[in-house]
Amino acid sequence: MRRLTWIVPPAVALVLWVLITHSRGVSNALLPRPGAVLARLLSLVTDWNLGLDLLVTLRSAVTGLLVGFGMGFILGLCSGVLHWLDRMLSPSLHFLRSIPSVAYYPLIILYLGFGETGRVVLVAVPVFLLTFVSCVTAVLSVNRHRRAYLSGLGASRWQIFRLLLVWEAMPAAVNALRLAVSLSLVLVVFGEMTIGGSSGIGARLRDAREVYALEDVFAIILVLGVIGWLANRAISTLEERLQVAWGR
């Protein structure tokens, strides 16, 4: 029974949606009925063009996510171990991290144009900064007694790094990945809506907004919600398997 408790919030939201749209004084032009949105959603799901737009959006999001996360993870671990590197990089990267991601839009458009490269960079930069800070913090918080214990057993610096520091940083890296997945999808969709382009979920959402097709807008939002939910479940599964490896 506990596994079904997650149904309660969406069920309550759906009931409220039905009651509001069937009450007097609420125009369907402002808030479409759930039945109309569901019908439009089913129509979009069977449309091959929606699948192509999804592939375009996910390609940009995943590419930016992998580039940013990979660079942030590696450089974060190195900065956590090499204190001189941390002192050199952290102030500048913390400064960049405090700047909203959307503030880079004018420069991205100016230097990289309106194509996919700009959207990938838009995702990769904030994901890199998020992952870097998380990994550096995790490595620096490793218990010194554990390092001393392994060193006393004759472990080399490389063995301490590989067997202790990397694994101690993994929980923080997974949490950063969870946040980065949602962030990458948000930034790509927003980039497609504003930077431009004729393909992608963001472009489809922009076109629906311009012609005031609210059924399409709500349906696309539901599709994005499902994608985000599936991504979160995938990260949770990864985290559970890593916890088994960690022995926790």
* Residue 14 is assigned to a structural domain of this protein: no
Q: What is the pLDDT of residue 135?
A: 86
Residue 40's contacts (CB-CB under 8 Å, 6 or more residues apart) are: 215, 216, 218, 219
Spatial contact of 71 and 126, defined as CB atoms under 8 Å apart: no
Measured distance CA(174)–CA(48) in Å, rounded: 33
- Domain annotation covers residue 6: no
Residue 84 lies in a domain: yes
- Which residue range is the domain that position 73 belongs to? 37-246
pLDDT value of position 42: 85
Note the pTM of the prediction, 2 decimals: 0.81
Q: Would you give the DSSP letter of residue 143? A: -
Q: Which pLDDT does position 196 carry in this prediction?
A: 59
For the chain, how many residues are written?
248
How many domains are there within the chain? 1
The DSSP secondary-structure symbol of 29 reads T
| Domain-embedded: residue 11 | no
Residue 28 lies in a domain: no
Q: Taking Cα atoms as reference points, which of 89, 154, 100 lies closest to residue 126?
A: 100
Residue 112 per-residue DSSP state: H
- Tens of pLDDT, residue by residue, the chain (248 residues): 566 677 888 888 888 888 888 877 777 777 888 888 888 888 877 877 788 888 888 999 999 999 999 999 999 888 887 888 888 888 888 888 888 887 887 888 788 877 778 888 888 999 999 999 888 888 877 766 666 666 666 666 777 777 777 777 788 888 888 889 888 988 888 888 876 567 788 888 888 888 888 888 888 888 888 888 888 888 888 877 776 665 55
Is 218 domain-assigned? yes
Q: What is the pLDDT of residue 18?
A: 84
Domain holding 160: CATH number? 1.10.3720.10
Inside any domain, residue 131: yes
Q: Can you tell me the distance from the alpha carbon of 226 to that of 35, in angstroms, rounded to the nearest whole number? A: 18
- Note whether residue 22 is domain-resident: no
Reference 236, options 54, 75, 52, 6; nearest CA is 6
pLDDT number for residue 63: 94
- b or e along 50-76 (b: 16 or more beta carbons within 10 Å of the residue's beta carbon)? beebbebbbebbbbbbbbbbebbbebb
